[in-house]
Structure 1
Amino acid sequence: MRNWALRISVGLVLCGGAPVASAEICALPPGERAVVSSAVDGETLALDDGREVRLLGVQAPAPPPDWEGPDPWPFAAQAKQALAAQVEGATVELRFDTRRQDRHGHVLAHVFLDRDGKQVWVQEALVAKGLARVAALPDLGACLGHLLAVEARARTDRRGLWHSLTYQVRDAHDPKRLGHLRHTYQLVEGTVHGIGEGRKLVYVNFAEDWRSDFTVTITRKRLPVMEAAGLDLASLPGKRIRVRGWVEWWNGPMIAISHPEEIEVLDAPSSSSLDAG
């Protein structure tokens, strides 16, 4: 196998000791201005021109599609309230990645606004409060590195959703429990057993029996992106990593990733945050 590298920039961005403006941290080209009428949920805005904006780079708390529980889903209401408090009635700037719209017609954007003389990056503010997790769409990965650093601090401080067992980091070596989490967005940690290769996919396996273990898949067409970011898949066996994404089922629980930021190499297990069963 070729040498695919991992280097994730998650440090705070500073310049001469002073914090850099949010729009410089998320250095996308200037976009368009719009007025927000309301927050639809924790990651979606309704604009006064009738369009809806989905916040890029984050996943707000929300129940699974088939959930029918009687109680409110943990932190879903708080995330919506926090978003509404920031943006309802405000004029915001929408900054775009390589694609501006999803198949449902939502505008896809990073959202900025000025408040009290300071620039607010809406995604960063939500992640910092523990009211959203970092998440990427397959071909849209701008600005994830800084958001990961913000999320790490919120998780360490157990802010917001990180204080709830619903959002705990899951154990990659418990495929049975992961199997019950299909169609949900999860963070999963474990020690890599080996790397497998297929015609279209590369597999990161977490046990010898790849037919039932937890597996991470990467399409071969995304390997150059991983390589450019420094991701060395061949070096992963024996290392503990954290991955994030939607859990599906294919010969056991599986997460498909497309961005290097969706894999983090860990120095040691995060026992305080792992699903203890």
Structure 2
Amino acid sequence: MVTFAMVAVLAMTPSAATACDGLVDGPKGTVVAIVDGDTALLDSGITVRLVGIQAPRLPKGRDMAAEPLAETARTALADLLVGQPVRLRHGGERQDRHGRALGQLFLADDTWVQQQMLAGGLARVYSFPDNRACIAPLLAAEAQARQQRLGIWADPYYAVRRADRPLELAEHSGRYQLVEGRVLHAEAVRDTVYLNFGRYWKEDFTVVIDTAALRRFRTAGLDPLGLDGTLVRVRGWVDSHDGPRIAVTHPEQIEVLASR
């Protein structure tokens, strides 16, 4: 049985960062324009969303301000891709609800675009339950950039939050965050598992793993109840319901940093 600790070790193994196996070949083309730090346009008319990462966001018609370093990320992706032949490879769903092609993107010399953006500190790992191939080497690239304080990792806007500071964490409701802390208690209530990071579940930070997510944990051979007492890093969208919380939909959102 695979354990969370083994997943964490795999994510930090340097050799894992050099390859991404098991992908299916998709369309090829030449990049003609860049929309933002994780979206490119091909000469064939295809819009490619670089799955597995989230670059700092630009407004693009939304009622929001540009996130810090959003233009920097867009420019870096343009410098890397515009005018270059690329190939898309799929590891999950191939198209999103906006009609964009989803996949890992590679240059002709096999440069892995998502890995490059993460290594430069211009994106964070961002996976989906239906699209989470290659997450281990992507996490390794992100971790190295974070340790070196490259790009976004030198900006407080993207700081890894502390689970034991729920009032501060609640201020980031509605935003994608990385949160670190020790699981005080893991418990199952009917068909949902709750990872509690404080004694007062109505106020403290909580991770919620629902029925659908638990099926994905079981498929991976993982039991979230085994996280009781472990130090973890969780990534996802923070919301506020009986204190700040993150709904975890698949195992790759949780990295084990230390056991009990």
TM-score after normalising by structure 2: 0.89
Give the corresponding residue for 2:239. 248
CA distance in structure 1 between the partners assigned to 2:208 and 2:21 by the alignment? 28
Alignment correspondent of 1:77 = 71
Q: How far did residue 73 of structure 1 move?
A: 3.2
**What pairs up with 1:230-249 in 2 under 5 angstroms?**
230-249=221-240
Amino acid in structure 2 at the alignment position of 1:143: C
The answer as to whether partners of 1:110 and 1:123 remain within 8 angstroms in 2 is: yes
2:118 maps to which residue? 127
> Greater shift after overlay, 136-145 or 252-261?
252-261
Aligned twin of 2:95:
101
Alpha-carbon distance between aligned partners in 2 of 1:145 and 1:133, rounded to the nearest angstrom: 13
- One of 33, 49, 73 as aligned partner of 1:38: 33
* Residue 196 (1) aligns with residue 187 (2): yes
User: Aligned residues, how many?
Assistant: 253
CA contact (8 A) 1:36 1:89 kept: yes
Gaps of 5+ in 1: 269-277
Q: Which residue of 2 aligns with 1:13?
A: 15
Distance 1:73 1:219 in 2: 30
Answer yes or no: is the 8 Å Cα contact 1:35–1:90 preserved in 2.
yes
Q: Determine the C-alpha separation between the residues in 2 that align with 1:183 and 1:232.
A: 28
1:198-225 CA-to-partner distances (Å, cap 9, x unmatched) read 3342111111221221111112233243
Where does residue 141 of structure 1 map in the other structure?
Answer: 132
**In structure 2, C-alpha distance between the alignment counterparts of 1:26 and 1:38, rounded to whole Å:** 28
After TM superposition, list the pairs within 5 Å mapping 1:159-170 onto structure 2.
159-170=150-161
* TM-score normalised by structure 1 residue count: 0.84
- Alpha-carbon distance in 1 for matches of 2:193, 2:229: 17
CA distance in 1, matches of 2:235, 2:179: 6
**Which residue does 1:49 correspond to in 2?**
44
Using a 3 Å threshold, how does the CA distance of structure 1 residues 138 and 246 change in structure 2: closer, same or farther? same
* Greater mean deviation of Cα atoms: 139-148 or 203-212: 203-212
Equivalent position amino acid for 1:13 in 2: S
Structure richer in helix, relative to its length: 2
Residue 120 of structure 1 aligns to a residue in which SS?
coil
Q: 1:40, CA displacement in angstroms?
A: 0.1
Residue 212 (structure 2) pairs with residue 221 (structure 1) = yes
Residue type matched to 2:14 in 1? L
- RMSD over aligned CA atoms reads 2.2
1:155 Cα deviation (Å)? 0.8
Q: Partner amino acid for 1:12?
A: P
| CA distance in structure 2 between the aligned counterparts of 1:107 and 1:142, rounded to whole angstroms | 15
CA offset digits 1:7-44 (Å, max 9, x no partner) = 31211227xxxx95x4xx24312222122111100011
The one-letter code of the counterpart of 2:85 is: T
1:238 partner SS? coil
CA distance in 2 between counterparts of 1:63 and 1:90 reads: 23
**Any runs of at least 4 consecutive aligned residues in structure 1 with deviations exceeding 3 A, and if so which?**
63-68, 227-232
8 A contact 1:4–1:233 mirrored in 2: no
Whether the 8 Å contact between 1:139 and 1:258 is mirrored in structure 2 is no
User: Aligned-pair distance for 1:66?
Assistant: 5.1
Question: Matched residues in 2 for 1:180 and 1:67: separation?
Answer: 16
Q: Is the 8 A contact 1:5 1:227 kept in 2?
A: no
Q: What is the alpha-carbon distance in structure 1 between the residues aligned to residue 118 and residue 41 of structure 2?
A: 20
